[in-house]
Amino acid sequence: MKNEATGAIPISMKKKPPDNPGSKTHKGIFLHASSVIVSGKALLFLGHSSSGKSTISRLLSERYPIIADDKVYICKNKNGDWSVCDGSDGFPLKQRYSPSAGRQKSYPLFAVLRIFKSKSMKIMPISPKETCRYLMDAVFEIDIQRKQKDLKIMKQWFALTAEISRKIKGWRLAFRKDLRILGLIKEAFE
């Protein structure tokens, strides 16, 4: 965002406050999650700290490119589909994460998986209600969103996560730290 002529950040950009995720102009949210690309679409892995989000991304990176391994940004594109991109750069300006702006590559969201460490590998579908609960957990695991006090914005997040949950299938994935996870993901999502 630097001014090419002077190397300085344009004054207008300095003054403009960043958009609030969830506000009327910002139909998107940050999630504490990791994500990989499978067949051109994004799989989203949700879980609390140390649940294995980074581990699963690393294991899957043998075959599938990683989008993000700690923080993702999900927003709705013009067609009404949900797109995922890396949210690790922190609080973005609206246009930066807008898929149409093309500054950052985003991928259509295909599935939401709540991960659990386990001794066996198992994947099973969960209800949209459960998916919504997990997504909301991930919303409030982001520092800046946890501190949010505005009821309207929080309600907006709830509406967004509910909308995602109704549209995108949710899964519960029990996994152990070995490469058999690649086979499981291939079988379920490719």
Residues near other proteins (CB under 8 A) are 127-129, 132-133, 136, 140, 151, 154-155, 158-159, 162, 165-166
Give min distance, CB of 5 to other proteins, in A: 46
Per-residue b/e over 40-60, b at no fewer than 16 CB within 10 Å?
Answer: eebbbbbbeeebbbebbbebb
* Contact in structure between 69 and 54 (CB atoms under 8 Å): yes
Report, in Å, the least distance between residue 136 CB and other proteins: 7
- Closest CB to other proteins among 116 and 158? 158
Between 24 and 129, CB nearer to other proteins: 129
User: Residue 76 phi/psi, 5° resolution?
Assistant: -95, 130
**CB nearer to other proteins: pick between 2 and 155:** 155
Which burial class, exposed, middle or buried, applies to 138 when counting CB atoms under 10 A from its CB (0-12, 13-18, 19+)? buried
Q: What minimum distance in Å lies between the beta carbon of 4 and other proteins?
A: 44
Of 136 and 173, the one with the shorter C-beta distance to other proteins is 136
The CB-of-159 to other proteins minimum distance in angstroms stands at 7
- Number of Cα atoms under 13 Å in the Cβ half of residue 92: 25
Q: Which of 169, 151, 15 is nearest to 93 (CA)?
A: 15
